[in-house]
Amino acid sequence: VTLEARHHIQVTHFHRHHPFILYISIYVCVCDAFEVMAESYEFSQCDGQCLAFRRAASVLKSVPWPVERLGAATRLPCLGEHTRAVMEEILQCGRSFEVEKILCNDRYQRLKLFTSVFGVGPKTAEKWHRGGLRTLNDALEDPGVELNSMQKAGFRHHGDISRAVSRAEALALGEILHQAALGISAHAVLVLTGGFRRGKEFGHDVDFLLSTPEQGKEETLLLSLVDSLRRQGILLYCDHHPSTFDINNLPGVSFEAMDHFAKSFLILRLEDRQVEGGVQRPEGQHDGRSWRAVRVDVVAPPMERYAFTLLGWTGSRQFERDLRRFARKEKRMLLDNHGLWDKTKKEFLPAEREEDIFAHLGLEYLEPQLRNA
Ligand code: ATP
Ligand code: MN
Ligand code: MN
């Protein structure tokens, strides 16, 4: 069932004969409904409400019993009045009128379409919508729209980038990047992070962490890596952010999610033959090409920050948010991708491995597979 089709599942059809399917589809419906609500609030820049629905979806995913029995969902944490109302409507009627109204809403549909382009955020999408643009072609053809190089690349590879990346494709890219990194330095360390490290089978991009025990050489290594990919002819786009990391400025005023390490947001060309087991294109997507474009993120922290960056980039976003909140509220500690600051002791706590960070927080170590909140 495709993501789009899922919204239209008539759960009541399954009700009598397949109680198990009913459970799955209600579960999927409620989570998807919450995601639509969150997105719609995101488009309106209502961060609080957006987060409330994202968090509620996370909570639902972690509940070990069928949502049908959540009639008394009152005691579930993080379910506010609004989230509960949407869920109960779906449980009772099989659909939510509020969510359906959003799905049919012109503005929502256009913002969703525009933000599907790499480099187009909610603000640009809103501007285009206000300017009367309706389709991606409108944005390409309107003389009033000036695309930056990221958006141009986003449009050029829109089809490929909108298609999920498989685990086999992620591993193939890991192999290519690994070989390229080792060609530059025998000490280079490259690890897969993000959703694929959490065991996900599909992702919207592939995330890597690159480092080296040679102090202060990580950014040069990243630049050389990108250069090597360019020379191999597989670099389709690169947006490089130089490091702004300065240990003396930490902890900063706000311990934000974004970090200061050197990083590159890339689009790479992956040949079908490089993917183990070959590539199966969905019906109707055979355009004669034997390659696809993939979004790849690479972050390059210094080795002594490795554990913090690995923990931060492994995600999920909701897991990171909860972990940071726990550190702040329960431990009087500030955690981010750079380090862990103990407000009581007024010092940074060292960590070589993720395990050390969990130990500092007094928590049992959680394998990446258990961080899919
Ligand atoms: P998906 O399959 O959608 O890619 P994901 O969990 O890998 O899922 P990403 O958006 O790739 O999602 O992000 C992975 C992790 O990296 C998240 O925990 C996020 O907080 C972190 N992250 C992403 N971009 C940045 C950035 N620019 N600066 C700091 N951290 C980032
Ligand atoms: Mn990712
Ligand atoms: Mn990413």
Q: What is the DSSP letter of 13?
A: G
For 289-346, write each residue's pLDDT tens digit.
999 999 999 999 999 999 999 999 999 999 999 999 999 999 999 999 999 999 999 9
* Mutation choice for ligand 1 from 193, 205, 207, 241, CB with most ligand atoms inside 8 A: 207
Alpha carbon of 26 to ligand 1 centroid (Å)? 28
Q: Model's pTM, two decimal places?
A: 0.87
Full pLDDT tens readout for the chain, 373 residues: 333 333 333 333 344 444 444 455 566 678 889 999 999 999 999 999 999 999 998 888 776 665 655 554 456 666 788 998 998 888 888 889 999 999 999 999 999 999 999 999 999 999 999 999 999 999 999 999 999 999 999 999 999 999 999 999 999 999 999 999 999 999 999 999 999 999 999 999 999 999 999 999 999 999 999 999 999 999 999 999 999 988 776 655 455 568 899 999 999 999 999 998 877 776 666 778 999 999 999 999 999 999 999 999 999 999 999 999 999 999 999 999 999 999 999 999 999 999 999 999 999 999 999 998 8
Nearest to 57 by CA among 76, 42, 43: 76
Q: Is 239 marked within a binding site?
A: no
Tokens, residue 288: 């004669």
Q: Identify the structural domains of the chain with CATH numbers, from first to last.
A: 3-104 (1.10.150.110), 107-156 (1.10.150.20), 165-309 (3.30.460.10), 310-370 (3.30.210.10)
**Ligand 1 atom closest to Cα of 200?**
2
H or E stretch at 195: helix 194-197
Q: What single-letter DSSP state applies at residue 342?
A: E
Q: Please answer whether residues 293 and 236 qualify as being in contact, where contact means their C-beta atoms are separated by less than 8 angstroms.
A: yes
Name the closest ligand to CA 198: 1
- ipTM confidence score: 0.96
Q: Is 205 annotated as ligand-binding?
A: yes
Q: Provide the residues around ligand 3 (an ion) whose CB is within 5 A.
A: 205, 207, 297
Q: Is 336 annotated as a binding residue?
A: no
Query: Can 205 be counted among the known catalytic residues?
Result: yes
Q: Ligand 2 centre and the CA of 185: distance in Å?
A: 25
Rounded CA-CA distance 23/27 in Å is 6
CA 92 distance to own-chain centroid: 32
What would you report as the CA-atom Rg of the chain, rounded to the nearest whole angstrom?
A: 22
Interval between CA 195 and ligand 1 midpoint (Å) = 8
d(CA 239, CA 295): 11
For ligand 1, say whether the CB of 119 is within 6 Å of any of its atoms: no
- Cβ of 195 closer than 6 Å to ligand 1, yes or no, is yes
Of ligand 1's listed atoms, the one at least distance from the Cα of 312 is 18
**CA pair distance 217, 63, nearest whole angstrom:** 45
